[in-house]
Amino acid sequence: MKFYRMHVLVAEDTRSIMAGAKRVEEALVEEIRLAGLEDEIRVVPTGSLGFSDKDQVAIAIYPDNIIYCPVLVSTVPEIVEEHFLKGRIIKALAHPMEQKEVTMEERTSENQMNLDIQKRILLENVGKIDPENIQEYIAADGYVALEKALFSLTPEKVIDEVKKSELRGRGGAGFPTGLKWQFTRPNPGPVKYVICNADEGEPGTFKDREIMEGDPHKMIEGMILAAYAVGGTHGYIYIRGEYALSIQRLQKAIDACYEYGLLGKNILGTDFSFELCIHSGAGAYICGEETALINSIEGKRGEPRKKPPYPPSQGLWQKPTLVNNVETFANIPAIISNGGEWYQSIGVEGSRGTKLFSLMGDINWKGTIEIPFGTSVGDIIDNIGHGVRYDRKLKGVILGGSSGSLLVPEELNTPVDFHSLAHIEAGPGSGSIVVMDETRCIVDICLNIAEFFRHESCGKCTPCREGTAQICHLLEMIASGNGLPEDIDHLEKISQTMMDASFCPLGQTAPSVLRQALKKYRQEFLDHIHNSNCPAGVCNMNFTEEV
Amino acid sequence: MENKTVNIKINGNDYTVDGSLTILKACRQAGISIPTLCYMENICEEGSCGICVVEVAKSHTLQRACITQVYDGMEIQTNTSRVRQARKTILELILANHPQDCLNCAASEICELRKISYDLGIDETPFEPTKDLDLPLDTTSPAIVRDLNKCILCRRCVKECEIVQSVNVIEIAGRGINSKVSCFMDKGLGESYCTNCGQCIKVCPVGALTEKNDVDRVWDYLADPKKHVVVQTAPAVRVALGEEFGMPVGSLVTGKMAAGVRRLGFDGVFDTDFAADLTILEEGTEFIGRLTKVLNGESAHLPLITSCSPGWIKFIEHFFPKCLPNVSSCKSPQQMFGAVTKTYYAQQKNLDPRDVICVSVMPCTAKKYECLRPEMDDAFDHWKDKLMLKDEDHFQDVDVAITTRELGRMMKEVGIDFEHLPEESFDSPLGESTGAAVIFGATGGVMEAALRTVYEVVTGQALPKVELEIVRGMKGIRTADIPMVSADGKEIIAKVAIASGLGNARVLLEEVSNGTSPYHFIEIMACPGGCLNGGGQPISNDPNVCEKRAAALYSQDEAITIRKSHDNPEIKKIYENYFEKPNSHLAHELLHTSYVERDLYELEKEDN
C-alpha cells in the first residue's frame, strides 16, 4: 500500500459540485502532478465538510487539519505552491468564520467554538472518507456491527438492543424503532420487505442527503442489520429522483456490497440473505408517506392507503414490510457496535441519541448539523448558526419543515426533544430549522407554504384537496390587499377541519404553521386586512399612495 | 376471530356488537345515521370524502366511520360540535367548487350532495371557487355525458368501474385540486374502451354523470306528421318506470306504461318482449346446432355466449376479442325488433321504411351505442336494391334509444298522471309476447327462456316444471347442469353458467379464453342483476332493488298464459309468413350480426 504524506479531501456533495468542486478536484490533481507531488499527496473526493450552504468549494488537508474555503480553480496553484510545496498555511483562504484558521480538531472537538455543541455519530465519516470507496468505510470500522450481529447476536437480540437504545424513528412521527421491528418480525411468509424512505421531500430539509452522499454505507449497513433483525429478504431504497448524486453513490455502494458478499445470498458466509435495490421516485411529496410510498413502488398512484392493515403486517405487495427513514437506519450500526445502553446515554429522557437538522434561512452559518437531543433551538441558532445574519432581529423559526411548527423568539429556549417540543405544539418533524429575520412577512411565508401544499396534496380526500386550495386562495387575497375580516375565521375553520378530518398526515399537518401564525402573529394578518399594510413591506398591495 | 363481539359506547350508550364491524355499520345497527358521500359497501371504501368522521376517545384526529373498525372499549361520539363543524366545513369546501345550478341539473331530485347539505343545515358556502368551473362537457360518448364541473371526486364511479365491472376505463389523474376523473391519456369516454354500461351513472351522487339526453330527438320525430313512429319497451322497463313517479320499488306497471307511451303520441306501441321471443328461437336454434355438432364429434365454438347485452358485447370486443366466435351471432332483442319493424312490419302496413321511425325504451345506456353501430342497418341494406335507396336515404334499424329515466321525464313533461293511468295493452302485431320474454329483464332470464324452448326441441317433451329456479337468483355467477334425453334416447347434460356484472363475466371469460370453460351455454349481462339494474334505470337507494324488480318480472311471467317463446302465436306467424324458419337465410340477413375486434388503446390511429 502506498504511503502519502498528505491527503487533500475535496467536499463533493451536490451543492459543492454545483459550485465547481469537480473542477477544483481536477485542478488540484493537475497542479500536484505539475509540481511533481503526485506520489506524496493524494486527492480524495468526500462528502460535505459542513460548509455546503455557501455555494463554495471547501477542501480539508490532513494531517495539517486545515480547511480552505472558498477554493476556486484559480486559487489552486497558490495552494499547491504555498502550502503543499512550501508548507505555509494561507491564512486568507482558511475558512473565514471569525477570520481564523479552522482546524479539524476544532471542527470535531467538543470544546471549541461553532461546532462545539454538535456530536457526530451519524456524520462521523462524512467529509472524512471517500463515499464511493467501500474500503474507506470498512477502514473506519464499517460493517463491524453487521459482523457482530451475524456472528454473535440473534435477530431477537438485535431488536433488543435497538429497543434498549430507545431510538425513535427519524421520519417525523417518532415511533419507537425497536417496537416497529418487533411488530414486523413475527409476521410469517417467505418474503418480507425492508424499505428505506429516502424521499426527503420537505422543503428546506436535506439532512438525509448528507448521509447518502457522504457515507452511504452507513445507511446500507443499517438496512442489512434491520433485515437480519426482522427477517427481511428484499429491500428497496425509495429515493426522490432529484437526488441524482445520492442515487449514484448508493448504487456504487450497493454494487460494492454485492462484490464483498455483504448483500445477496449467504451474507458473509452465513445463512442470511438479503437483496437490495434502489427505486427512484418521481417527485411527489406524498410519496414520503409510507403507504403512498408503497403504492408508488407497486406502480400505483402515490396515495395513502387506509390503515390498518399497517405495513408490518401487510405492506408492499401485501407482504410484511418495514419502512424506516434514512437517518433511522444510519443510527443502527453504532447502536449495534456500542450497545443500546451506550446510545441510550446520549440525549435526554424520551429522546435518545443525536438528531440531524438542516439549518438554514436568515442565519450566518447554514448546513447540516448533528446535535444530541436536548440542545435548545436558541443554542443552535446562536452557537452553531452564529446568529441572525446582518445583525437583524429574529422574527421566528419554522421547525420541522413546512408541515412543522412556528416558534416565536420567546420559545427558543425550548430544548429540542420530542417531549419538550410537544409542550409548544412542535416536534423535530422532518429535521429542518428555518430561521426568519424581521424582514420576512408572515402572510407571505404562509402563502409560500400554502402554495407548496396546494401543489403536493394528492387529491384523495376532500379536506386536504379542497382545503389546501382554499387556504391558498384566502392567503392570496390577504397578501394582495383584498383580505376581508372574516377570512381569518375561514382560515381557522379550514385549518381545524384539515387537522381533524384529513385522511393522512400530509393534510393533517399542512395547516399547522398557518394555525400557529394566526395565533402568534395575528396582528400582522390584521394589518394586511384592515390597513392594506404589509408591515415587512414584502406583499405587493394593490393600493396607490396618496399624492 | 371475526365473530368476536366487542363492547363499545356510542354517544354515551353501551352496545355489544360484532367486532368485525366498522363504526358506520355499528352506528347504523344502533339506529344512528352517519352521512356518507363516497362510501359504497364492499365497492368504494376509500374514505375519501371525510363526511362520515366521528370522534373516538383517545384518537388525536377524527376517525372515518366508514373504514374504521370497532374495538373493545371504543368510545364513539357522532354528534359533537367538533364533528358537526368538520362535516359542515367539508361540505362547504365541496360546494365552493360545485356549480350552484341545481335548477338545471339532471340529478336535481336525487342529488345526495344537495340532500346532505340540506340535512346539515348549510344555506350557503362562505368560500369562493378555487378552480375552473367552466370545463367543457365530455360528450364524446353516445351513451354517457360527463360534466367534470359537477364532479366531487368521491371516486364511486372509479371504483364501480374497477371493482364491479373490471373495466377500469376511468381513473383519477392529476394531483390535489387539479385531480380529476380521467380516461386514458385524458381522452373522452367515447374515445376509450368504455362499455357504455352506465353503472357509473347509477353510483354518481351528483349530476356529473348522466345518460346522453335523446328526449328531444324523440319529440321531433313525434312532431313530424310524415313519420310513422313506433316504440318498443324492454322487459325491465315495466318493473322500474313506476319508481320515476314515486311508486314503490318493484311495482309492475306494464299496462300503465303502454297507456302512457300511447299518450305521448306513438303510432305503434309495441313490446321488445316480442323480439325477445324471436331471439330465443334464433339463439336456441343456434345453440342446438352447435351442441349437436360437438356431440357428433364435429367442431363448433362452445360455450355459446348470449349477445343481448351491448355493454357486454363491447367488453368482449375490447378485452377478449379472441373469444368472439363463442358469442351468439343473434342481434339483441332491441335490434331484432328494429330490423323487423322496418321490414316485416313496414311491409304489412304498407309503409315506406324510410318513414318508419323506431324508438326504443331501454333500461340501458349501452343501447344508445348499440343502435348506432354501423352494422345495425340491415333493414336499409334489405331495401336498398328493392327500393333503389340512395346513400342519403340511409336509416338505422333503431333510430333512437332512450332510457327508462328519459321516458319518465317525457311523461312528466306532458303532465301524464302515471299512477292513475288505465291499464292498456300493446298493439298488434309486434306486441304479443310470452312469460319467457319478460324474464329477459332479470339475470338468468335469457337462460331460463332459452332452456324452456331448447329442452322441448331436444327432448320432444315439455319441461317438468316451467320455472327453472336453478338459474335464478342474484349471485354474480351461477351454474347449473340440465339433464336432457334426446328424442333418439341420447343422454345429454347441458352445462350452463350465468354471470351478471362485467367483473363476473371476466371470470367466466378467462376460462373460455384459456380453454378450460366446462360450459355449453353462458348467459352474460353487463349489469349486476341483469337489465333490471341497468345503467338507464331509475336510481334507487333501496338495497334490495334488484330482488324486488326481479320478483315483479317473475310474477308477470306467472300471470301470462303463454310462457314459452315458441308458443307465441305472433312468432309462429312471422316465421310462417316471413322468415320461414329460425336461422333461415332471411333470418341471418336481418336478425344476426357480426362483431369487431377492438384495441384497448388506439393511440396510433390518432396519430395518423
**Chain B residue closest in CA terms to A496:** B86
Q: Residue B295 belongs to what H/E stretch?
A: helix B272-295
Closest CA to A351 of A505, A177, A149, A189: A177
With a cut of 60, say whether residue A494 has pLDDT above it. yes
**Which chain B residues contact residue A458 at CB under 8 A?**
175-176, 179
pLDDT at B290: 95
The more confidently predicted of residues A118 and B580 is: B580
Characterize the bridge pairing of strands A351-352 and A347-348.
antiparallel
Place of cell 414584502: A538
Confidence of residue B487 (pLDDT cuts 50, 70, 90): confident
Q: How many CB atoms lie within 10 A of CB B1?
A: 5
Note whether A218 and A257 are same-domain residues. Answer: yes
| Confidence (pLDDT) at A119 | 81
Give alpha helix (H) positions in A386-521. 418-423, 442-456, 462-479, 485-501, 505-509, 512-520
Burial class (CB in 10 A: 0-12, 13-18, 19+), B464: exposed
Across A70-89, average pLDDT: 92
For range B491-506, the mean pLDDT: 95
- pLDDT higher at A53 or B543: B543
Residue A107: per-residue pLDDT: 46
Q: Note the pLDDT tens digit of each residue in B24-71.
A: 999 999 999 999 999 999 999 999 999 999 999 999 999 999 999 999
- What single string gives the DSSP state of each residue in B481-541? EEEEE-TTS-EEEEEEEEEESHHHHHHHHHHHHTT----SEEEEESSTTSGGG-TTSPP--
How many percent of chain A have pLDDT more than 70?
Answer: 94
Beta bridge partners of B401: B360
CA distance B140 to chain A (A): 26
Instruction: Tell me B361's DSSP state.
Output: E
Examine the domain organization and report whether A249 and A274 are in the same domain.
Answer: yes
Q: Average pLDDT for residues B253-279, to the nearest whole number?
A: 96
Tell me if B172 and A459 make a contact (CB, 8 A cut-off): yes
Task: Note whether A200 and A255 are same-domain residues.
Answer: yes
**Residue A51 confidence (pLDDT):** 62
Fold of B5-79: Ubiquitin-like (UB roll) (3.10.20)
Q: Do domains B95-211 and B216-591 have the same CATH topology?
A: no
CB contacts, 8 Å: A486 with chain B: 126
Q: Has residue B3 got a pLDDT over 80?
A: no
* pLDDT score of A333: 97
Domain total of chain A: 4
Given A92, A108, A124, the domain boundary residue is A108
Residue A276's nearest CA partner among A393, A216, A195, A342 is A195
Give exposure, A500-517, as e/b (b: 16+ Cβ within 10 Å): bbbbbbbbbbbbbbbbbb
Rg of chain A over all Cα atoms, to the nearest angstrom: 24
Q: What's the rounded Cα separation, in Å, for the pair B426 and B410?
A: 19
Q: How far B49 CA lies from chain A's nearest CA (Å)?
A: 5
User: pLDDT at residue B339 above 50?
Assistant: yes
A513-527, B327-341, B476-490: which range is least confident on average? B476-490
Give the pLDDT mean for A28-33: 95
Q: Quickly state the pLDDT bin for B161 (edges 50, 70, 90).
A: very high
| A97: confidence class by pLDDT, cuts 50, 70, 90 | very low
Residues of A with CB under 8 A from a CB of B: 284, 301, 306, 308, 454-470, 472-473, 486, 490, 493-494, 496-497, 499-503, 508
Three-state secondary structure readout of B10-78: ECCEEEEEECCCEHHHHHHHCCCCCCCCCCECCCECCCCCCCCEEEECCCCCCEECCCCECCCCCEEEC
Chain A and chain B share a number of CB contacts under 8 A equal to: 110
Instruction: Give A358's pLDDT tier (boundaries 50, 70, 90).
Output: very high
How is B398-458 classified by DSSP, letter by letter?
S-EEEEHHHHHHHHHHTT--GGGPPP--PPSSTT---HHHHGGGSTTHHHHHHHHHHHHHH
CA distance B216 to chain A (A): 37
Nearest to B485, CA basis, from B521, B518, B455: B455
For the question of residue B367 being annotated catalytic, the response is yes
Confidence at residue A172, expressed as pLDDT on a 0 to 100 scale: 85
Instruction: Give yes or no: residues A161 and A253 share one domain.
Output: yes
| φ, ψ at B464 (rounded to 5°) | -55, -40
The string of pLDDT tens digits covering residues B527-553 is 999 999 999 999 998 999 999 999 999
- Give the residue-averaged pLDDT of B106-129: 93
CB-hemisphere CA count at 13 Å for B203? 26
**Do the Cβ atoms of B359 and B402 come closer than 8 Å?**
yes
Mean pLDDT of B70-98: 96
CB contact under 8 A, B130 and A466: yes
Contact between B526 and B366 (Cβ < 8 Å)? yes
Q: Please tell me the distance from the alpha carbon of residue A292 to that of residue A289, in angstroms, as a whole number.
A: 5
Identified catalytic residue from B52, B197, B200, B531? B531
Claim to verify: residue A269 and residue A327 sit in the same structural domain = yes
Active site (annotated) includes residue B2: no
Question: Residue A392 sits in a domain of what CATH number?
Answer: 3.10.20.600
Report the first-to-last Cα separation within chain A, whole angstroms. Answer: 80
Per-residue pLDDT band for A54 (boundaries 50, 70, 90) equals: low
For residue A129, tell me if it sits in a domain: no
Of B109, B375, B419, B597, catalytic:
B375
Residue B454 has, within 13 A of its CA and on its CB side, a CA count of 29
**What does residue A408 show for φ and ψ, rounded to 5 degrees?**
-90, 165
What mean pLDDT, rounded, does chain A reach? 91
pLDDT > 70 fraction of chain B, expressed in percent and rounded: 98
> Nearest residue on chain B to A509, judged by CA atoms?
B61
> What kind and span of H or E run contains A160?
helix A155-165
Residue B184: list chain A partners with CB under 8 A.
Answer: none
Same domain, A285 and A360: no
The rounded distance, in Å, linking the Cα atoms of B281 and B331 is: 12
Query: Does position B265 have pLDDT exceeding 70, yes or no?
Result: yes
Is there a single domain that holds both residue A296 and residue A205? yes
A347, A353 contact by CB (below 8 A): yes
> Hey, are the CB atoms on B46 and A502 less than 8 Å from each other?
no
Query: Could you tell me if residue A503 is inside a domain?
Result: yes
What pLDDT shows up at residue B115?
Answer: 94
The whole-number pLDDT of residue A111 equals 32
Please provide the average confidence, as pLDDT, over all residues in chain B. Answer: 94
Q: Name every chain B residue with its beta carbon within 8 A of the beta carbon of A459.
A: 153, 172, 174-179
φ, ψ of residue A235 in degrees (nearest 5): -130, 150
Q: Grid coordinates standing for A47?
A: 462528502
Both A99 and A143 in one domain: the answer is no
Per-residue confidence band for A53, with pLDDT thresholds at 50, 70 and 90 = low
- Pairwise CB contact (< 8 Å): B50 & A463: yes
Q: Are A540 and A528 in contact (CB under 8 A)?
A: no
Same domain, A298 and A225: yes
pLDDT tens sequence across B174-230: 999 999 999 998 999 999 999 999 999 999 999 999 999 999 999 999 999 999 999
Q: Cβ contacts of residue B278 below 8 Å, gap of 6+? A: B333, B336, B340, B565, B571, B574, B591
Provide the pLDDT for residue B605. 53
Q: Which residue has the cell 345453440?
A: B287
Report chain A residues whose CB lies below 8 A from the CB of B50.
461-463, 501-503
> Could you identify the residue written with the cell 462524512?
A126
Residue A514: give its domain's CATH number: 1.20.1440.230
Strands A41-46, A59-62: parallel, antiparallel or unpaired by DSSP?
unpaired
Q: What is the pLDDT of residues A443-474, one digit of tens each?
A: 999 999 999 999 999 999 999 999 999 999 99
Residue B283 annotated as catalytic: yes
**Residue B554 clears pLDDT 50, i.e. is over it:** yes
Buried b (16+ CB within 10 A) or exposed e, A322-355: bbbbbbbbbbbbbbbbeebeebbebbbeebbbbb
The closest CB to that of A466, out of B45, B94, B171, belongs to B94
Q: Would the CB atoms of A497 and B85 count as touching at under 8 Å? A: yes
* Residue B606 banded pLDDT, cuts 50, 70, 90: very low
Residue B4, pLDDT > 70, answer yes
Q: What would you report as the CA-atom Rg of chain B, rounded to the nearest whole angstrom?
A: 26
Yes or no, beta carbons of A306 and B67 under 8 Å apart: yes
Pairwise CB contact (< 8 Å): A461 & B47: yes
Q: What is the CATH number of the domain that holds A305?
A: 3.40.50.11540
In a shared domain, residues A335 and A186: yes
In a domain, A373, yes or no: yes
Q: Using an 8 Å Cβ cutoff, are B247 and B256 in contact?
A: no
Query: Which one is the CATH code of B216-591: 3.40.50.2000, 3.40.50.720, 3.40.50.2300, 3.40.50.1780?
Result: 3.40.50.1780
Q: Of A500, A502, A503, A509, which to mutate for an interface test with B (greatest number of B Cβ within 10 Å)?
A: A500
> What type of residue sits at position B134?
D
If we measure between CA atoms, which residue out of A50, A49, A75 comes closest to residue A60? A49
The CATH code for residues B95-211 is 3.30.70.20
Q: How far apart are CA A232 and CA A320, in angstroms?
A: 9
Cell numbers 325491465: residue:
B236
- What are A19's three cell numbers? 459550485
Q: DSSP 3-state helix, strand, coil percentages of chain A (rounded to 5)?
A: 45, 15, 40
Same domain, residue pair A332 and A360? no
Of the candidates A63, A17, A69, the one whose C-alpha atom is nearest the C-alpha of residue A42 is A63
Residue A62 belongs to a domain: yes
Q: Specify the pLDDT at position A542.
A: 57
Cell, residue B540: 334507487
Strand runs (DSSP E) across A354-429, as ranges? Answer: 354-361, 367-372, 394-399, 405-407
Question: What is d(CA B575, CA B579) in angstroms, rounded to the nearest whole number?
Answer: 5
- Give pLDDT, residue A452: 97
pLDDT of residue A383: 87
Domain ranges of chain B: 5-79, 95-211, 216-591
Residue A102 pLDDT > 50 = no
Instruction: Spell out the residues 6+ positions from residue B184 whose beta carbon is closer than 8 angstroms to its own.
Output: B169, B192, B193, B601
Cβ-in-10-Å burial (0-12, 13-18, 19+) of B298 comes to exposed
In whole angstroms, give the CA distance from residue A336 to residue A162: 8
Supply the pLDDT for residue A99.
36
Interface touch B174/A466, C-beta < 8 Å: no
The three cell numbers of residue B596 are 369487431
Tell whether the model's pLDDT for residue A545 goes beyond 60: no
- Say whether B175 and A457 touch across the interface (CB within 8 A): yes
Does residue B66 carry a catalytic annotation? Answer: no
| SS3 at position B302 | coil
The Cα–Cα gap between A105 and A20 comes to: 26
- A423 and A453 assigned to the same domain: no
* pLDDT of amino acid A292: 96
Tell me, what's the pLDDT at B462? 87
Nearest CA in chain A to B126: A490
**Domain range enclosing A373:** 349-435
In a domain, A140, yes or no: yes
Give the pLDDT of residue B493.
Answer: 92
Give this complex's ipTM: 0.91
Concatenated DSSP letters of B220-283: HHHH-TT-EEEEEE-GGGGGTGGGGGTPPTT---HHHHHHHHHHHT-SEEEEHHHHHHHHHHHH
Closest-CA residue to B256 (of B267, B244, B568, B221): B244
**Cross-chain Cβ contact B93/A463 below 8 Å:** yes
